[in-house]
Amino acid sequence: MPVTVKPLDAPLGAEIIGLDARNITPQDSKTIFDAFLKYHILILHDQKLTDAELVEFGKCLGPIEKSRVISPLSGRDDIMVISNIREDGKPLGQLPDGEMSFHFDRIHQKQPCKGAALMALEIPQEGGDTLFANMVAAYAALPDDLKKKIEGRTALNTFTYGATSPDKREGAGPQCEHPVVRTIPETGEKSLYVCRLMTDRINGLDPQESRAILDQLCDHAENPRFVYQHKWKVGDIVVWDNRATQHARTDFSENERRLMKRVTIGDNQPPIH
């Protein structure tokens, strides 16, 4: 069966059909990467990958980065485990519980990642959905006067590890400045590059004006007209371009198990204007 790319009826995304992610040919890799650039998120259903196979699949998009924490649910340093499963009251994975605000992965670092691939192994009956916002479309839809205000500017991004919303951040954590609007090198597309969870201020503006513009930009980007909400099924793999999308998570019951495994795809250059 040939591999086909089926666009979603949504503001972004496509489904990859007919692909066994355990066996990727060079042509499959090209198809996946081209679709990744065009649609920003890719969805594969009914996949049964080992940790090693998930890592190999991720390599078709770029080099695999190390996880900050090695989980006993994997034991590999290139697999990030996201789970609320606990042992002696302690979570065995990262980001275990509840809702999570919109964010770009690693925007607080000098070299944010290019993307990620996340695989669902156990999911709650309700909730724990992942929302993806199309930041290329969001930027394109900004009013011209707002585009001019943020043109060429940078923003400071800060993170407290484990925080899932701005109010849960504690003091100054790792931080980095990046363009408010970044360019995707392969396509030349402009992407709005601020988020509610981690962007603290727009440099060069009065603090009050900075806060007002950031709130306006985040409200705009999180509008449902730019957002796709993925309701997980066991065996799903979702791949996203971390340069062109931000993502969030809906709440779910702490009494139901959720187990996801992820590989993080590295980039070869920091964000550019």
Nearest-angstrom CA–CA distance, 139 and 190: 7
* pLDDT given at position 161: 85
Close Cβ partners of 188 (under 8 Å, ≥ 6 residues apart):
none
Q: Check: CATH 3.40.50.720 for 4-265?
A: no
* pLDDT given at position 167: 84
- Rounded to a whole number of angstroms, the distance between the first and last alpha carbons of the chain is 41
Least confident of 90-104, 158-172, 189-203: 158-172
| Domain regions of the chain by residue span | 4-265
3-state SS assignment for residue 265: strand
How distant, in Å, are the alpha carbons of 77, 81, 138, 265 from that of 67? Answer: 6, 9, 30, 11
Percentage of residues of the chain with pLDDT beyond 70: 99
* Residue 85 pLDDT > 80: yes
* pLDDT given at position 163: 87
Q: Which two tokens stand for residue 244?
A: 């062109």
* pLDDT given at position 232: 98
The average pLDDT across 108-127 equals: 97
CB neighbours of residue 201 within 10 Å: 20
* Residue 14 pLDDT > 80: yes
Nearest-angstrom CA–CA distance, 36 and 17: 14
Mean pLDDT of the chain: 96
Nearest-angstrom CA–CA distance, 139 and 104: 15
Percentage of residues of the chain with pLDDT beyond 90: 94
Close Cβ partners of 89 (under 8 Å, ≥ 6 residues apart):
none
* pLDDT given at position 112: 98
Q: Tell me the per-residue pLDDT of 21-73, one tens digit each, with 9 for 90 and over.
A: 999 999 999 999 999 999 999 999 999 999 999 999 999 999 999 999 999 99
The average pLDDT across 94-107 equals: 96
- Single-letter amino acid code for the residue at 98: G
Nearest-angstrom CA–CA distance, 182 and 193: 6
Burial of 30 (C-beta count, 10 Å sphere; 0-12/13-18/19+): exposed
3-state SS assignment for residue 94: strand
* pLDDT given at position 138: 98
| DSSP designation for 56 | H
* Residue 170 pLDDT > 90: no
* pLDDT given at position 117: 98
Q: Tell me the per-residue pLDDT of 119-165, one tens digit each, with 9 for 90 and over.
A: 999 999 999 999 999 999 999 999 999 999 999 999 999 998 888 88
Q: Which two tokens stand for residue 19?
A: 């692909």
